C-alpha cells in the first residue's frame, strides 16, 4: 500500500483539527484546572462568609432566619437551604424574577454573617468560563463539546500514525530530521494521551 495514500488523509485531518481546537482546548484546560481547585481557593477567599461569626450571641431558629432574609431582601425567593458540615456556615440561596441569585451565610446561631452575588463567586465564575466562555451561548456550549470530540480524534489518529509508521522504533542516528521531529511529536502526544485516556475512563 502506498505510504502517501495511507497517511495523507489522517495527517491532514490531524493537522487541521489541531489548529482548529488548540486555542479553545488550552482555554478549557486552564479554566478546568482553575475550577478543579475551587474549594481551596474559596476557603481562602471567603473566610468571613464560610467560617465567620455575626457577633450576635442570640440563637434563633432557621425559620426566623428565613423570615429575616425575606424581610431584608424583598423580591427574592428562597431557593435552597444548604446545611453545611462543620466548620462551614450554613448557606441560603435566594433569587429574584430577573434571575439574580445571592448566597446568604448563617453562623451557628442562625444569624446572618454575609451575602454574596452568586454570579461572581470564584466557582461560578470559573464554571461559566469553562462551559460557555461567559457567553451563555448554546453555540459555544456545542463548540466545547465538539472540541472534546476532536480531541479524541487527535489522540486516535496520532496513535495510529505513530505505530503504523513505527516512529518509536526510529533510533536517534537514523532517519531524517523530519522523522526525528515526528518521533518527538509522537512521544509527547502519547505522554499526553495516556493520562487523558485514564481520566476518560
User: SS3 for 7?
Assistant: helix
Q: What are the residue boundaries of the structural domains of the chain, listed by start?
A: 3-39+127-200, 47-120
pLDDT band at 1 (very low <50, low <70, confident <90, very high): very low
- pTM recorded for the entire structure: 0.69
* H or E element in which residue 174 lies: none
CATH of 47-120, one of 1.10.3720.10, 3.30.110.40, 3.30.505.20, 3.40.50.10800: 3.30.505.20
Spatial contact of 116 and 89, defined as CB atoms under 8 Å apart: no
pLDDT band at 46 (very low <50, low <70, confident <90, very high): very high
pLDDT band at 8 (very low <50, low <70, confident <90, very high): confident
pLDDT computed for residue 199 by the predictor: 56
Please indicate whether residue 158 or residue 116 has the higher confidence score (pLDDT): 116
- How do residues 116-132 score in pLDDT, each as one tens digit? 999 999 999 998 888 77
User: Quick one: which of 49, 8, 22 has its CA closest to 157?
Assistant: 8
CA–CA separation, 70 and 48 (whole Å): 22
Amino acid at each position: 500500500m502506498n505510504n502517501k495514500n495511507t497517511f495523507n488523509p489522517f495527517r491532514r485531518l490531524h493537522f487541521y483539527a489541531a489548529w482548529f481546537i488548540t486555542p479553545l482546548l488550552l482555554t478549557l484546560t486552564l479554566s478546568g484546572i482553575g475550577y478543579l481547585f475551587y474549594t481551596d481557593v474559596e476557603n481562602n477567599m471567603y473566610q468571613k462568609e464560610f467560617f465567620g461569626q455575626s457577633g450576635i450571641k442570640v440563637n434563633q431558629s432557621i425559620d426566623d432566619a428565613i423570615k429575616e432574609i425575606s424581610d431584608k431582601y424583598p423580591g427574592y425567593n428562597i431557593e435552597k437551604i444548604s446545611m453545611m458540615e462543620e466548620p462551614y456556615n450554613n448557606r441560603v440561596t435566594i433569587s429574584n424574577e430577573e434571575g439574580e441569585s445571592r448566597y446568604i451565610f448563617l453562623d451557628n446561631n442562625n444569624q446572618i454573617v454575609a451575602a454574596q452575588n452568586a454570579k461572581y463567586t470564584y466557582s461560578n465564575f470559573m464554571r461559566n468560563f469553562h462551559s460557555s466562555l461567559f457567553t451563555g451561548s448554546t453555540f459555544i456550549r456545542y463548540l466545547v463539546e465538539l472540541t472534546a470530540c476532536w480531541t479524541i480524534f487527535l489522540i486516535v489518529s496520532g496513535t495510529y500514525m505513530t505505530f503504523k509508521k513505527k516512529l518509536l522504533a526510529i533510533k536517534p542516528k537514523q532517519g531524517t530530521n523530519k522523522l526525528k521531529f515526528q518521533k518527538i511529536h509522537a512521544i509527547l502526544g502519547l505522554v499526553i494521551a495516556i493520562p487523558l485516556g485514564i481520566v476518560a475512563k
